[in-house]
Amino acid sequence: MEEPLKIFLSHATKDEETMREIAAMLESKGYLCWYAQDRQAIPIGEKYYVEIVEGIDQVDIVLLLHSKHVQDSKWVDKEIEYSYNKNKLILPLMIDDAPLARQLELIVSTMQMLFLHSFPSLETAVDELHERMEDYRIASQDGVHTTGWLNRIHKKTAHTNTVLLGSLTAFQLLPKRLEQLTKTYITVPEYHSLSGALNEERALILHNEQRTGKYTTGLALLQETGVKHVVEILPTATLADLVKNSLKHHTGYIIKNIDPGFFERMTPAVWEELKSKLEQTESYLVLTTSLGAAPPWIGLHQVSIPDSYLVLERHIQEYNGDSTTDIPEQVLSYIKDRLPHEIAEITKHLLPVFNGEKTFADVQHVFESKVQERVSAWFKENGTSLDLVAQYLSLAVLTETTERFYITAVNSLKKTLEASWPAEKMTLMNDRERLQLLNAERFTVMTNTDLSYIQEDAVRLQRPEESKVILLTFWDMFRSVRPQLLQWLENIMLLTKNKEKESAELAVAELANRDMLLVRQELLQKWAKHEDFALRLSTVKILVLLADQHSRLREVSYLLNSWTSQNNNTRLQWTGAAALGTELGFYLYPRSLSMLKHVYMNNQKPLEHAVRQSFTSLYQLGTVSREYDEAFFSFFNDWLDEEKWGSPDTKALVHFFFSIVSQRGSAFTPFNAQEVCRMLYSFAEEALLSSMTKKLVLHLIEDNIEKHPEKFALLVYKLRHHQHSAIQERTVNWLKSGMQSQREASIYMAFYKEIKEYAGRN
């Protein structure tokens, strides 16, 4: 039977009633709650703090119940700081609308907070807590104790197929993934000539301004060559990187969405050198681009749109298992000259019809006209009415929201745009007519207020899938008010912490993908150094969204490099460091380690928390690959060598290192004794030089010797026979103490036997 997770509930005294209610719900789900039920048992006096510390030491998770009362609490900030230093998982639940208490900003600001008012009931909020804690339990069973913000800001990126090519991060596409990517592929008209060109040249650039299936064409071409592996390299790479790094044999490489920066400072000789390396390793390279900016000495190969009917038929066959399904004539007319990704979306609308869940009449509106044409026609007909435009655009951004907030958003947009909009004659419409014109509908939601949960009117788009088209069509048609639109999106984010804020973040990301230069200038650069940490955190989320499809990864990389280099701007560096703790740092690995080091070295005191969390997040992803971990430890050992050369006092870096590497119990499983010794020896001897830091390395060894005594025996043998007497003495005393302890003597005796085996060999 599984041990129940133990939870410490940190709260202000005035929130005790809410705390007890939450504790009771958690206990009903099988959790053990401390402090919620035992607080009255703690005697007031000198032992009060000791009792709290001991309580936190015994639990797995700390649940912070944040409210306006926390600001005046003399205990909550101490509890959270202690929990953070003990590497406990902290889950913040915001039980009212109060801003985050100032004394908690450094630690809690980067965490993914739950807002009670965004849930229809307290029970559903506790259900969400339950899901997160179950995720933690599963991760713990795998030896991963995550306190970092990779899981807080955005989804976790887990690539079990990571490949490091020098300074580049790449992913080997496993057979199942390749099958998934290519199973609906229809060959393009030029396929056979492209195949011949790749076999002859070894490297090929596929081009089309539209999404014609260049990536899947590239994968199909590489597989046809008979390579043993297919590896995707992220588009932060340059041609120089590929020439500089060693390539693997019998491998097909693909990089999608390259930009002109890929060819910087390149010559025909370098391109020929790369092709020569590919030939020597019997490998191939395919690049895709939507920009026609390659040097004249590198040819671009066009990829046309594949037959739309065949693409639809293949998708139907894949999803429905039946290629003989009758396709209505209206659909055939609609898909003519459509791009493959658009047809994939169309298929999703048709599936309920093929499965008998709907009739074609139910989905017919999708095929009556193209969304882009329909939305453009709407703006041409109603664009002179600021009132209607503000309502339509607000619906597109928010998708669905309470009517109360919708009215606030509409009025804010009208005020922002009115100076740039022509005067209009108001048209009176009743509610039904207005909703019909906006393609919207009204419904009701339950909202959490200070009067408990109440029913409230809300409004939403009838076709939420059209929201992106509406936003981008407005952006393209009304170019002169782009800065005002961005200002309004900022206003929305400052007005709310609910899902409407997330909707605004998504909208900013979509617009940045369309015009990165303007959005960076008007919003991202300003937010990244804003005093409001919530805007800085939103900046990180938007950058993550931009990098998700890798299309803007190079620009995001340049931006983060710039921000982390700004030594005179702590907030800007904080944002850069926070971003590197998300999958952005993973995509840019191992260069992200150097960026984080720069921040730490130049602003250690104010930014140590942020940098440590980001390093920890990146380190926890080391579970995906030996190469990843080896690069991590190699980086820190090089850093330690630099510190010893420049300064005799390395205590701060030693503390920093062990606070990170102690986070993953299973970190050393893939490595043998020689490798573990190489990874830890330098830091171990530095830690043992001082009585202040010796426990750091000894605790790490203690946590591992029961499961892996053979992996740590060589390390301890070398420390036991170290030329420095203090290191020798502290290692020997630790071993003796362990062998004499009542509870763990057998573990240490077994470990000592492993050490003696090394002594016999030497």
Angstrom distance (rounded) from CA 538 to CA 501? 9
Q: What does the pLDDT look like over 573-620, one tens digit per residue?
A: 999 999 999 889 988 988 999 999 999 999 988 898 889 989 988 888
Q: What does the pLDDT look like over 107-127, one tens digit per residue?
A: 887 677 788 876 777 888 898
C-beta separation of 594 from 618 below 8 A? no
Is 568 a residue whose pLDDT tops 80? Answer: yes
Counting Cβ atoms within 10 Å, is residue 74 exposed (0-12), middle (13-18) or buried (19+)? exposed
Beta strand 32-34 pairing with 6-10: parallel
Please, what's the b/e burial string for 676-710 (b: 16 or more CB within 10 A of its CB; e: otherwise)? bbbbbbbbbbbbbbeeebbebbbebbbebbeebbe
Tell me how far the alpha carbon of residue 147 is from its chain's centroid: 14
Q: Give Dmax over CA atoms of the chain in angstroms.
A: 96
Nearest to 461 by CA among 487, 489, 442: 442
Counting Cβ atoms within 10 Å, is residue 499 exposed (0-12), middle (13-18) or buried (19+)? middle
Domain 173-302, CATH among 3.40.50, 3.10.590, 3.40.720, 1.10.540: 3.40.50
Amino acid at 563: W
Nearest to 145 by CA among 100, 55, 103, 83: 83
Tell me how far the alpha carbon of residue 36 is from its chain's centroid: 33
Angstrom distance (rounded) from CA 520 to CA 707? 50
* Helices assigned H by DSSP within 478-569: 482-495, 499-514, 516-519, 525-528, 533-547, 553-564
| Predicted pLDDT of residue 251 | 96
C-beta separation of 282 from 311 below 8 A? no
∠ CA 219-220-225 to the nearest 5 degrees? 100
Contacts of 212 (CB under 8 A, 6+ apart): 188, 303, 304, 305, 306, 339, 340
- Rg of the chain, C-alpha, whole Å: 29
Residue 94: beta bridge partners? 66, 115
Angstrom distance (rounded) from CA 705 to CA 751? 7
Instruction: For residue 100, give the DSSP letter.
Output: P
Nearest to 104 by CA among 57, 56, 69, 142: 69
Q: Mapping DSSP to helix (H, G, I), strand (E, B) and coil, where does residue 98 land?
A: coil
Nearest to 590 by CA among 552, 544, 622, 543: 622
Is 158 a residue whose pLDDT tops 50? Answer: no
| Strand spans (E) along 11-117 | 32-34, 61-66, 89-94, 114-115
Amino acid at 154: H
Tell me how far the alpha carbon of residue 143 is from its chain's centroid: 21
| Predicted pLDDT of residue 96 | 85
Q: What does the pLDDT look like over 522-563, one tens digit per residue?
A: 999 999 999 988 899 899 999 999 987 677 888 999 999 999
Is 139 a residue whose pLDDT tops 60? Answer: no
Torsion of CA 123, 125, 126, 130, to 10 degrees: 130
Q: Which tokens sit at 565?
A: 């280099």
Q: Which tokens sit at 534?
A: 């919530």
Cis peptide before 590 (omega within 30 of 0): yes
Q: What does the pLDDT look like over 38-76, one tens digit per residue?
A: 455 555 555 666 778 888 888 989 999 999 999 888 889
Angstrom distance (rounded) from CA 366 to CA 353? 13
Q: Which tokens sit at 381?
A: 């007909």
Q: Which of 6-10, 209-213, 446-450 has the lowest mean pLDDT?
A: 446-450
| Predicted pLDDT of residue 34 | 86
Q: Please determine whether the domains at 6-141 and 173-302 fall in the same fold group of CATH.
A: yes
Contacts of 389 (CB under 8 A, 6+ apart): 379, 382, 383, 417, 421, 474
Q: Which tokens sit at 189?
A: 């008209």
Angstrom distance (rounded) from CA 343 to CA 346? 5
Instruction: Tell me the domain boundaries of the chain.
Output: 6-141, 173-302, 308-368, 372-514, 570-761
Is 664 a residue whose pLDDT tops 90? Answer: no
| Predicted pLDDT of residue 150 | 36
| Predicted pLDDT of residue 452 | 62
Q: What is the CATH number of domain 6-141?
A: 3.40.50.10140
Average per-residue pLDDT for the chain? 86
- Higher per-residue confidence, 155 vs 74: 74
Residue 253: beta bridge partners? 231, 285
Beta strand 301-302 pairing with 400-402: unpaired
Report the chain's terminal Cα–Cα distance, integer Å: 46
- Higher per-residue confidence, 493 vs 422: 493
Instruction: Give residue 212's pLDDT band: very low, low, confident or very high (50, 70, 90).
Output: very high
Tell me how far the alpha carbon of residue 241 is from its chain's centroid: 25
Q: Which tokens sit at 520?
A: 């960076």
Is 323 a residue whose pLDDT tops 70? Answer: no
| Predicted pLDDT of residue 147 | 41
Instruction: Give residue 624's pLDDT band: very low, low, confident or very high (50, 70, 90).
Output: low
Beta strand 6-10 pairing with 168-172: unpaired
Whole-model pTM: value is: 0.79
